[in-house]
Structure formats: C-alpha cells, structure tokens
Structure 1
C-alpha cells in the first residue's frame, strides 16, 4: 500500500482499473494521467480521482483519439462533443474510402482487369478528394492557360471542372467506370493537346470575320438521319441533305473553310469527356452529335 491513505501507487492504480502498469506509466509521461506526488522512495503516487481519469483516457483511446487530443479534452480545451463530431466526420470519410475501394474491386472482378489496370485503379481509389480534384484542375489549367477568361467560350473551363471532388457515397459500377476512364483521358497528352487546340481556336476565332455557321439543330436532324440511313457524304443524295443544312450558294472555298472550322471543334473524345462528367454528376444522358457533324464535314469537303 502507499504511505498516504488518500493516494495510490501505480501498481494499485493498475489493479483498480485493469490497465497495465506500463500503459499508465506511458500515459503519465505523456501528461494525460499526471501523478499527484511522489513517495519517500521516489515512486509515483496518484489520487483516488486518477482511476476515473484513467477510465476516461481508455475510453477516448478506444474511440481512436491520439494522446494530444485526449489531453486537450481532459484539460477542457475541447469538449467530448467536439471530439465526437470530429470523429464522426473521420469515420464518414473512412467509410466512403472503403466503399470506393469495394467498388474498385468489384470492377476488377467484373472486367478481369490486368495487373496494370488494377494498380492504376488502386492508386485512384486511395487518392484524397483534393488529389482527385487536382487531376482535373491541372488538365483545365494546361488547356486554358493564357486564354482571356472573358473571351467567349472561356466559360467552358469552369464546366470542365465539374468532376465531383469524390465519388458518391455508394457509387454505381457505371460511375466507377466513368471515374477511371475520365482520369485516364485527362492524363493522355494527345487529348490534352487536342483540348488545348480547341480552346485556343475558340478564343482566336472571335477575332476573325464572321462566317456562316450551320444551325446545330439542323445538323443533328438531317446529318444524324443521313448517318442512320447510311448515306455516303460524297453521294448525290448527300448533296440534297447538305443543302437543308447550309446555304446552297456557298462556293467551294467557303465550304472548305466551314468544314475546317467545324472539324476544329468536333472531337469524339471531347464529347466523351462531357458524357463521363454527366455519369459522375448524375446528369441526364444526351444524344451524341459528333457523328452528324462528322458527316457534314465530309459532305462539305466532298464538294469543295
């Protein structure tokens, strides 16, 4: 027993609380369970309230708190409610990470991915929300670097940043696939160069003389029907369809310039980018317009 009836030795405190002596000694050295004094022989002594403090420290540690946070709670710099709320947020983040990893593994199981694909997916799954956001921000920054933010068309940059910071809490297989594909797409140097070309041309084109532009609705309607019906762009039937979209009086040089301008802004992979964003954000799907514009471009060039 201790020399003082109101105090406990570290061994007595250990027996009363069921916590090993070495653990109490470590907590004591860390300042969360400080001794109230020393015995004549220099051994640590604790008051009877230390047992309750030890029990609280054990509870907080089992909740996952580190010792500095435990000490802040015990010193009343933080309330238990503050800590609980912080841990709820941490647990939510951990649960989200686990759901993402489960979704990634499910994709691997469904598609029989290669070792390299699995490595890439694993890295993406481990990324924080900020790191995933940075992938898109870096792509947008490179694409629109030096372009006047007030230039017509520059608002596309903001639209291209709409990849969610994180996947939904319980992502669908389609969202996981879209997430993986989008990350790979924006990392492709060829795609980056193509997006940059379109951005620069869009800003530069506003300073050029106005040229006739076809109505997108007419392109989709007539060009899309031509694609569905298999009408060759160079055929006689295509000429009749073409004249429903553009002015029949355009001379060959004007048709060539129009075809080149449309080709600059027509790209299947860029459209795919927007489709993937739609999957991730839950936007309603939209019909592809690129095939109709590709048909129009070919029809114009066939007559220029």
Structure 2
C-alpha cells in the first residue's frame, strides 16, 4: 500500500476484515480516528490508521476492552503490559475450563447425582493445603496402629500427589478419582487391613525394616538395569542379557534368603525362566486384593505427578526378555 494514499472506509473494511459499522464505531469512540474526511463527508484512512485498526481487531479478539486498547494506541500503556494482563486472565480461564471439563467428564463417566456434582467441583477447587490434609488423613487412617519401623510409615506417607499449577485434564480427572477413593470407607479399610496383614507378622516387620527396604531398593536397581537393556534392544540370547538375568536371579535368591533364611538359587532361576505371559493371574495376586487397591492408588498418583505409571505389559515384556535370556543357556 502507498503510505501517502488515503483509502475509503469500504476499502479499509475489506483490508482489515472489520465491518464498516465497526470502523465507524471505533472512530466515534476515539479509538482510531479517520485520517481525513472528503467534501462529501466520507471518512478516509491512511496505512498507519489501517494498521491500527488491524491491531484493534486482534486485541478485541483476544478480549481487550476499548479503554485498554485506547491506552495502548495513545502510548499510555505498552502492548507488553496489556499482553501480560490478558495472559494472566486467559491462563486463569484455561484453568477453570480444565477443571470444569474434568468435572463434566466424571459426571458423564459415573452418571452421577446432582449432589455429587457439587462434591466433584469442590475436589478440583481444593487448595494445596486442603489436598495435603486429605491425603494425610488417609494415610493416618491406613497406618493407624501399624507396628512397624516409623521409617516405613513415612515412606507410605510420601506416596502422595502433587497437582501442578497448570494440570492437564488427565491430571485433574486422576485427582478427582484419587480424592474420592481416599475418602471411601471400604477402600481405606481394605488397604489398612492389607498393610496390617502384610507387615503385622515378624517376617513383615523384617521386610519393613530400614535395612530390608534398602536391600529391596538395591534389587530394584538391578531390575532397572534389565529394563534399560531390554528397552535398548539388547538381544535376549546375548551374553549381556544372560549376565543380567543371572545377576537378577542370584540377587532374588539372596533377597528371599534374607527374609526367610532359605537360599535357593535354582528356584529363583526357575521363577524367572518359566515366566509365561499367557498364564492367568497368579494365585497369590488373586488372594491379595489390597495389592490391587495400592496399585490403583499409585497409578493415580503417578498420573497426577506426571511420573511413569505401573505398566503390566511393559513389566511382562521385561520378564519375558529375562526368561528368554536364561533359557538360551539350556
């Protein structure tokens, strides 16, 4: 466009995408005045005014008011300041929309009652302190009367969600579900019974001791090495895979011996080598519903925290890899 040329209001409307009435309105409100007026009373605009009108249209679409736009155009406020203000507004609106979507999805999924909708909205609107208090109450109930080392109880309490400042819809939905189950009396009671049965015996207390927990962490690191190798594409029949699988078997035998006093390397090797993904759920897992509840809790916490979730298929693939590694020596 020619900088010295003046354009009719119809041309300006076509160039900016604004209606003629909108351009007149902005002129009447003192936002963008016409550059000139013809003898016949027709308004005309130069390229500078057209650029201002294009900015007005953009800012209006972003939610800016006329007063704010006028201050920007008259240099009483900077575009940066206006953007900062509206960015905060938009981010706040996005947070509210994510929370509403999470509640609505929960309503659709659960076919909930009108009373329950209010509860769901309250859950997503909780402050950090309120969420912490809810989780503390849950673990206080679950671990009440648990006769184990305090360090074990502390580890349980540390398994908690940390909802980020800008959670995704998935994180909000996971928080809603988690907040509901930690207040469910049956869930709380079943999990408390699971821990009392699990660590109530002498063997359980030994397993919950700091020394044994450190020993378990050592074993988990070894299994993490197996997972890293399997995911890196190390062949199951390679010497590296066999070495890792043998070390996992040996460490498993030593871990069991530390808990039971019985060391059986052959049994540990068979336990790895005979793994079959197609088998039904192990009997010990079917008899431990509390473990399923704990896994559900941990999966939700992982979703909220944005950390890797327990993945049965991935775990099975790693076990298959180690089984193949041990069988390749036969």
TM-score exceeds 0.5: no
Q: Which of the pair is proportionally richer in helix?
A: 2
TM-score interval, smaller chain? 0.3 to 0.5
TM-score by length of 1: 0.43
TM-score by length of 2: 0.40
